């Protein structure tokens, strides 16, 4: 069998192997050691690379990966799973999106791939993670959350025809209805688009919200859909569940809040909205309604800021454009 | 008959709604920390009820309840006055934190600083600026808090001697949350509730919903209706008073901190009865391996429970109402 060696884990035989991958050092000199799990089956096959908590307060992703891994029997695998359930560990500890040690450079780990071993704290993390990903992964699944527990959509890399074909098959097997085939030039520096550039089919799921805004049902649902992806790529035996056809988008639109205040949202994830439609209301500190928030584009709500407060310029709504059933 | 009530720039001289701000501190750039004040003076005589929320800056549910209540209040039908300060700890509110980001050297919990000190640290100065008009005007104080999760729903009143204690209990029964602690007066020293009780002001704390966005429109609307019931019980609003009896009273509460760190999933909800030693949640390590169960250190009713998903050693794990009895 081919050797898979990541961090201090050398997986040479069937089983569940645990260890760590060092991706940086903290100010006291202590290493930043990410938890790493490799599940190897008795035979070689696809290597599915999974990671979560690229953004440190997207805990739902860690729980979903854990749930998925606990449900797998290494003996039943044809191939391997390499999983890093907590990528941005220093941010994870602080309930933050980005690392508290990133002061001057790009703080968003998912815009720093493929990374730079001589760069800033976050770029070095990205490099340490991406090197083994590129070496071993035949398929890559990244997981994220948005704001609210009802978030439920997905993306796959559309960098070239082969990556697109397999990425789409992964998206169909995962089966979240709202899915963006991500065009080149979008999400530059994300692990998904970097892997796509390197010819690795890549899929990104968005399920649940920040911090504790997710349910056990979502975790169990994501784990089952991940098993379906594993079945679809030949890593697990069994019949592939056929989910309803995807609704795909031409792109997405991030809209920021033009003003600040208390904010109550009027739409939910998955709702169809029309440009100009009221999607929420701003209130002042006295409780008086001040202005309606209007949809800046038509499409489907992928993420919505639930308030209860919103500063000017905060991300208000994330819209999937030109939805098409395909 | 109208009276004059002046709080910061809000100067209410007769029936109607008056708005203004109360300066309670200064930010490092020299700009004032001016918190919103709303005074609703009724057409008829009656008591002055003081409402405040967001003593802890990320307990936004309290602000939403007060706003919802005010929007439904018609001063023409009101006997007495409602004074509302929906955002007390504004620096913490802006920063989405419990305590003010300017509070560095001291404890910083605004609800342990009352009656405050004009020459103390920032939180003590804020407490003083708030408590001074509260003491001057309020007959009744109702303070809105949250715990950690959306299912939080309990209340406290000071078990004080005399009229203030009796009126506090009347308010508790009119608001009507089942789980209620007649709080021994030696606990929660420095809270606005206990400071007010010492000064003979009836007082009450509502714990509704969780921090940040962990609350629902339904719990906000429900709390606003219960607040209207308090005003009906005080004869400030007309209409029949809803009877929420019976109640579950406690002898005290136990705050329990986590003896273990890790990923955490709770297995009980607020309001659940628990027995000492029963499982209340599970810990996992960063690899997803089960690392054991969290167990109830006391029997009682769950008032608050940590929502996870991650837990540091020593974080508040659970808040238990002790010795529940029907009242």
Q: Using one digit for the tens of pLDDT, what is the confidence trace for A203-256?
A: 999 999 999 999 999 999 999 999 999 999 999 999 999 999 999 999 999 999
Per-residue pLDDT tens for A16-75?
A: 999 999 999 999 999 999 999 999 999 999 999 999 999 999 999 999 999 999 999 999
pLDDT band at B66 (very low <50, low <70, confident <90, very high): very high
Task: Assess whether A144 and A35 both reside in one domain.
Answer: yes
Task: Assess whether A276 and A230 both reside in one domain.
Answer: no
The pLDDT of residue A1 is 81
The pLDDT of residue B283 is 97
Residue among A72, A7, A80 at smallest CA distance from A40 = A80
Average pLDDT for B181-188: 96
Q: Which residues neighbour B1 within 8 Å (Cβ) at sequence distance 6 or greater?
A: B45
With CB atoms and an 8 Å threshold, state whether A66 touches B87.
Answer: no
Task: Assess whether A211 and A314 both reside in one domain.
Answer: no
d(C-alpha A286, C-alpha A269), whole Å: 29
Residue among B94, B56, B87 at smallest CA distance from A314 = B94
The pLDDT of residue A275 is 98
**Distance of residue A8 Cα from the nearest chain B Cα, in angstroms:** 14
Paired tokens of B292: 């054991």
d(C-alpha A142, C-alpha B65), whole Å: 39
* Sign, Cα dihedral of B92, B96, B97, B103: negative
For residue B275, pLDDT over 70 is answered with: yes
> In chain B, which residues have their Cβ closer than 8 Å to the Cβ of A285?
35-36, 63, 86-87
Residue at which a domain ends, from A220, A244, A268: A244
Task: Assess whether A121 and A194 both reside in one domain.
Answer: yes
d(C-alpha A15, C-alpha A199), whole Å: 28
Per-residue pLDDT tens for B129-145?
A: 999 999 999 999 999 99
Instruction: Specify the CATH number for the domain of residue A152.
Output: 3.40.630.10
Domain ranges of chain B: 5-246, 250-326
d(C-alpha A231, C-alpha A209), whole Å: 27
For B250-326, CATH gives 2.40.50.100
d(C-alpha B229, C-alpha B243), whole Å: 9
Task: Assess whether A135 and A258 both reside in one domain.
Answer: no
Cα B18 off chain centre by: 24
For residue B106, pLDDT over 80 is answered with: no
Residue at which a domain ends, from A185, A220, A244: A244
Residue among B201, B212, B198, B177 at smallest CA distance from B54 = B212
Report CA dihedral (B146, B148, B152, B155) to the nearest 10 degrees. -40
Positions of E strands within B119-258: 140-147, 153-158, 179-183, 202-210, 248-249, 253-257
Task: Assess whether A150 and A60 both reside in one domain.
Answer: yes
With CB atoms and an 8 Å threshold, state whether A60 touches B309.
Answer: yes
Task: Assess whether A208 and A304 both reside in one domain.
Answer: no
pLDDT band at A195 (very low <50, low <70, confident <90, very high): very high
Q: Which residues neighbour B93 within 8 Å (Cβ) at sequence distance 6 or greater?
A: A309, B54, B57, B58, B60, B63, B87
Count how many domains chain A has. Answer: 2
Q: What residues make up the domain containing A216? A: 4-244
Instruction: Specify the CATH number for the domain of residue A301.
Output: 2.40.50.100
Task: Assess whether A236 and A254 both reside in one domain.
Answer: no
Task: Given the cut 0.95, state whether the ipTM is greater than it.
Answer: no
Residue in B61, B213, B288 closest to A66 by CB: B288
> In chain B, which residues have their Cβ closer than 8 Å to the Cβ of A21?
none
B212 touches chain A (CB under 8 A): yes
**Distance of residue B147 Cα from the nearest chain A Cα, in angstroms:** 14
H/E run at residue A203: strand A202-207
Residue among B146, B155, B207, B162 at smallest CA distance from B182 = B155
- φ, ψ of residue A266 in degrees (nearest 5): -110, -10
pTM across the whole model: 0.94
With CB atoms and an 8 Å threshold, state whether B286 touches A85.
Answer: yes
Per-residue pLDDT tens for B24-44?
A: 999 989 999 999 999 999 999
Per-residue pLDDT tens for B10-23?
A: 999 999 999 999 99
Residue among B81, B94, B83, B107 at smallest CA distance from B34 = B94
Task: Assess whether A284 and A233 both reside in one domain.
Answer: no
Residue in A212, A283, A285 closest to B308 by CB: A212
> Whole-number mean pLDDT of chain B?
96
DSSP letter at B241?
A: P
pLDDT band at B1 (very low <50, low <70, confident <90, very high): low
H/E run at residue B308: none
pLDDT band at B103 (very low <50, low <70, confident <90, very high): confident
Residue among B211, A272, A289 at smallest CA distance from A280 = A289
For the domain with range B5-246, which CATH number is right: 3.30.750.24, 3.40.630.10, 3.90.1150.10, 3.90.1330.10?
3.40.630.10
d(C-alpha B61, C-alpha A246), whole Å: 38
Residues written for chain A? 326
Task: Assess whether A317 and A227 both reside in one domain.
Answer: no
Helix then strand then coil, in percent of chain B rounded to 5, is: 25, 35, 40
* Sign, Cα dihedral of B295, B301, B307, B311: negative
B269 touches chain A (CB under 8 A): no
> Whole-number mean pLDDT of chain A?
97
DSSP letter at A313?
A: T
Nearest CA in chain B to A260: B94
The pLDDT of residue A302 is 98
Where helices occur in B138-216 by DSSP H, the ranges are 162-175, 192-198
A217 touches chain B (CB under 8 A): no
Per-residue pLDDT tens for B159-173?
A: 999 999 999 999 999
A185 touches chain B (CB under 8 A): no
> In chain A, which residues have their Cβ closer than 8 Å to the Cβ of B263?
59, 62-63, 66
State the pairing for strand pair B310-311/B262-266.
antiparallel
For residue A326, pLDDT over 90 is answered with: no
């Amino acid at each position: 069998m081919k050797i898979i060696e990541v961090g201090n884990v050398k997986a040479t035989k069937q089983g569940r192997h645990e260890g760590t991958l060092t991706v940086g050092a903290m100010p006291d000199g202590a290493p930043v050691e990410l938890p790493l799990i490799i599940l190897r089956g008795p035979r070689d096959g696809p290597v599915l690379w999974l990671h979560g908590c690229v953004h440190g307060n997207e805990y739902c992703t860690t729980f979903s990966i854990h749930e998925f891994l606990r449900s797998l029997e290494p003996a039943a695998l044809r191939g391997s799973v390499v999983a890093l359930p907590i990528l941005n560990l220093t941010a994870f500890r602080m309930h933050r999106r980005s690392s508290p040690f990133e002061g001057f450079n790009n703080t968003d780990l998912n815009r720093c791939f493929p990374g730079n071993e001589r760069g800033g704290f976050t770029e070095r993390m990205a490099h340490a993670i991406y090197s083994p990903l590129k070496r071993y992964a035949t398929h890559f699944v990244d997981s994220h959350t948005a704001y609210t527990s009802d978030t439920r959509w997905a993306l796959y890399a559309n960098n070239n025809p082969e990556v697109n074909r397999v990425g789409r098959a992964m998206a169909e097997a995962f089966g979240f209805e709202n899915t963006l085939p991500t065009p080149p030039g979008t999400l530059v520096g994300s692990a998904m688009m970097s892997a796509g550039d390197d010819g690795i089919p890549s899929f990104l799921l968005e399920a649940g919200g920040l911090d504790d805004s997710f349910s056990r049902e979502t975790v169990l649902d994501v784990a089952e859909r991940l098993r379906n992806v594993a079945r679809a790529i030949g890593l697990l035996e069994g019949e592939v569940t056929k989910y309803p056809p995807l609704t795909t988008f031409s792109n997405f639109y991030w809209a920021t809040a033009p003003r600040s205040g208390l904010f109550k949202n009027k739409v939910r994830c998955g709702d169809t909205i029309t440009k100009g439609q009221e999607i929420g209301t701003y209130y002042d500190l006295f409780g008086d309604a001040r202005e309606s928030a209007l949809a800046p584009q038509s499409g489907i709500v992928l993420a919505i800021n639930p308030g209860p407060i919103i500063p000017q310029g905060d991300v208000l709504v994330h819209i999937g454009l030109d939805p098409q059933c395909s | 008959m109208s009276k004059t009530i002046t709080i910061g720039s809000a100067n209410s001289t007769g029936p109607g709604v008056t708005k203004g701000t109360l300066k309670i501190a200064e930010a490092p750039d020299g700009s004032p920390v001016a918190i919103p004040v709303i005074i609703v003076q009724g057409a008829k005589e009656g008591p002055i009820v003081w409402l405040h929320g967001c003593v802890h800056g990320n307990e936004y549910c309290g602000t939403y309840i007060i706003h919802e209540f005010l929007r439904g209040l018609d001063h023409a039908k009101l006997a007495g006055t409602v004074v509302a300060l929906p955002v007390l700890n504004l620096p913490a509110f802006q920063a989405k934190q419990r305590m003010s980001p300017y509070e560095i050297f001291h404890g910083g919990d605004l609800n342990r600083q009352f009656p405050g000190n004009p020459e103390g640290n920032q939180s003590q100065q804020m407490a003083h600026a708030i408590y001074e008009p509260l003491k001057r005007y309020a007959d009744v104080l109702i303070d809105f808090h949250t715990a950690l999760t959306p299912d939080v729903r309990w209340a406290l009143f000071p078990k004080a001697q005399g009229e203030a204690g009796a009126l506090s209990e009347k308010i508790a029964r009119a608001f009507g949350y089942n789980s209620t602690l007649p709080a021994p007066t030696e606990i929660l020293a420095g809270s606005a509730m206990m400071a007010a009780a010492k000064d003979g002001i009836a007082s009450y704390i509502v714990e509704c919903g969780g921090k940040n966005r962990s609350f629902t429109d339904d719990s906000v609307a429900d709390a606003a209706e219960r607040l209207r019931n308090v005003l009906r019980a005080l004869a400030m609003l007309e209409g029949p008073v809803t009877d929420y009896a019976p109640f579950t009273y406690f002898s005290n509460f136990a705050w329990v901190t986590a003896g273990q760190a890790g990923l955490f999933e709770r297995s009980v909800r607020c309001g659940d009865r628990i027995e000492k030693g029963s499982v209340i949640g599970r810990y996992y390590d960063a690899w997803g391996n089960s690392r054991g169960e969290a167990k109830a250190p006391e029997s009682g009713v769950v008032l608050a429970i940590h929502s996870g998903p991650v837990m540091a050693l020593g974080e508040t794990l659970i808040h238990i109402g002790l010795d529940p009895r029907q009242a």
